[in-house]
Every structure is written in C-alpha cells, then in structure tokens.
Amino acid sequence: MKNRSNAKQHINHVVAFFYVCYACKKNNWENTFTLFSRVIMTLPFQSYALIDSGNGRKLEQFGPYVLSRPCSQAVWKPQLSLAKWNEAQASFSRELENKWTNLSNIPEVWHIEVAGVVFKISATDFGHLGIFPEQKSFWDWIQKILRPYASKKEKPRILNLFAYSGGSTLAAAKAGAAVCHLDASKGMVTWARENAALNHLEHAPIRWIVEDVKKFLARELKRGSRYEGIILDPPSFGRGSKGELFKIEDEVTQLLQSCRDLLSERPLFVMFSCHTPGFSPVVMHHLLSQAMQGVKGKIEFGEMLLEGPDSLKLPSGTYAKWVREND
C-alpha cells in the first residue's frame, strides 16, 4: 500500500511537471527557466518528530514534549492507538475556544535546535509554537546558497517578509548575510529578536521592522533599495501593524511583482512558500515564473511534507523557489 501511495504521488508530480512545461512553451518561458518539480520531506530530526496524524489532528514531539494540535489536512484515520495519543503532555483545541489543556505539564518556554538555529518554543493562544518544522529544508538551503558569499566584502542583502519567529532570518544571518526582517506583529518580531540572542546574533546586521508589508515594499522601491535574495511566506489572511487588510488571493500577484522590482542586478534567489488551500505547486510555479519572467534562472516547485516513522506523510504547504543559474 505504501509503495502504491508513493507511485501515485510520483505520477501526480510528473503530470504537474509536464503541464508546467507545456505552459512554459505556450508562454515562451522556456528560455528563461530550467524547471524542477519535487516534494520536500522533513524527516524526524534530533529535536522534532511527527509521531502520527489523523482525525483532523497531528501528534508531534518538540524536544522532550509531546503535543497534540489541530490539522485540517489530516482527514484520514490515525495510524497509532488512542493510548499513544493520550501520551501527549498538552493538547490544543479550536472547539474549546482556542484553548490548551494540561499546559501545566509543559514549561512556559523551552528551546530546540533546528538546522543549526536555536528556537524559543512556547504554546501560544493560536496553537502555534514559534516554529514551522516543515521549513527546515529551506533553512538548510538558504545557508547553502549564501555561504560562498560570506567572505566577500559586501554581504548579500536578504529581505524576509512575513518573517514570523525568524527561522529564515537567522539561517541567512548565520551564513553571513545582511537581513531585513519584516512582520506586522510586534510580538513576533520581539520573539524573533529573542531567537537572535539565543544564537548570539543580537549584533548581526539585521534590521527589525514592524510594518504592513505593502507599505514597506512601496517605501523600499521609492528609496531604491535592492536585495540579492527575498523570502516570503504570506498568510491566507492577515492584518498589518495598523489594521491594514491582507488577503493572499487579492495581493499575491502585486506582492511578487514588488519583490521582483526590489531584486538587485545580480540576484541569488527568491523563496516563496504558502499554506493556503488551493495554492497548489503548479499555482505557485505560475505565480513565481510570471513575476520572474525575463530573469534567467532555475525554478523548483513542489509540496512540503512532514514524515514520521509511524505516520502517513502530512501535507504542510507548497513552495516555489527561483535561483540564479551560474554565469
């Protein structure tokens, strides 16, 4: 059964790849991009594991603590017994008006290390913990892209939008980049700065910005600011620092165009990820390829999955990333 599932997944990605190749031919993009379609799987690592998923929930281990949280994608049955699920030291439920149960079983704050970055973990009122483990592969990738430039006189300039607790920011800073970190939530920017201090990066060249993304991008364009790399993981819906409304389906095209306009003459990469239903890998490819039209490089697009030894693969968002081809 597992082999059949893997074969079906492979067929779906082959179909997506050839569909995108057809779109590139039709729109004359083939001279601009080399295309790759793949699945990014986050396997268990020292400080995190997906234990199981099903019945609209996921069971995960963060450091020494096992937590149960909602997961709308997990519409299948759990693989493990109810007794195993009952080992969770704390659980979050949206049916209980967004409340945690048994929070006294876990500390208010603890730390884990992922991709060489130390993160503060804490149970929030929204069920988040301050980290999205499916992004681990991207933090590794960002550091790999940037390390060759660490010894150069001018540091690569990286813009991280919707930057949350700073995983991508700190990965880039550890690799020697100068980073602009932007999030509309003052609390999340404070959290990211705490993470920077945990990694001895409090004096690294990081600009910490609390602002609405559209206003910030417009101002950066007027200033003539330019970046070698841009990272963005927009939410489905959000509000700016002063209540400005953001809806991804209304904003994403202009958002990506603004990012394209902020790239330097020799950009390194654009990393675009998303967790919005309907934004399939092919949709992500089309959005990024249109924004990057005319800039020669490689585009990889696909699905992010969490995987555990006893769990079914858990869909955890989609992505498209552009990287400059070697001259």
The segments of the chain whose pLDDT lies below 70 read: 1-45, 96, 241, 327
DSSP-derived letter for residue 5 is: H
Architecture of domain 2-44+132-324: 3-Layer(aba) Sandwich (3.40)
**CATH 2.60.120.10 is held by the domain 48-115:** no
State the CB neighbour count (10 A cutoff) for residue 21: 14
Where in the chain is CATH 2.60.40.1180? 48-115
The one-letter amino acid at 290: Q
Backbone angles phi, psi at 229, to 5 degrees: -145, 145
The tokens describing 235, both together, are 């939410």
Q: What is the pLDDT of residues 23-64, one digit of tens each?
A: 455 554 444 555 656 666 665 567 999 999 999 999 999 999
H-type alpha helices, 27-115 = 82-85
Where in the chain is CATH 3.40.50.150? 2-44+132-324
CB contact at 8 A, 35 and 24: yes
Q: How far apart are CA 274 and CA 292, in angstroms?
A: 18
CB contact at 8 A, 116 and 174: yes
Q: What is the pLDDT of residues 139-159, one digit of tens each?
A: 999 999 999 988 888 899 999
Backbone angles phi, psi at 187, to 5 degrees: -60, -40
| Nearest in space to 183 (alpha carbons), one of 165, 156, 201, 170 | 165
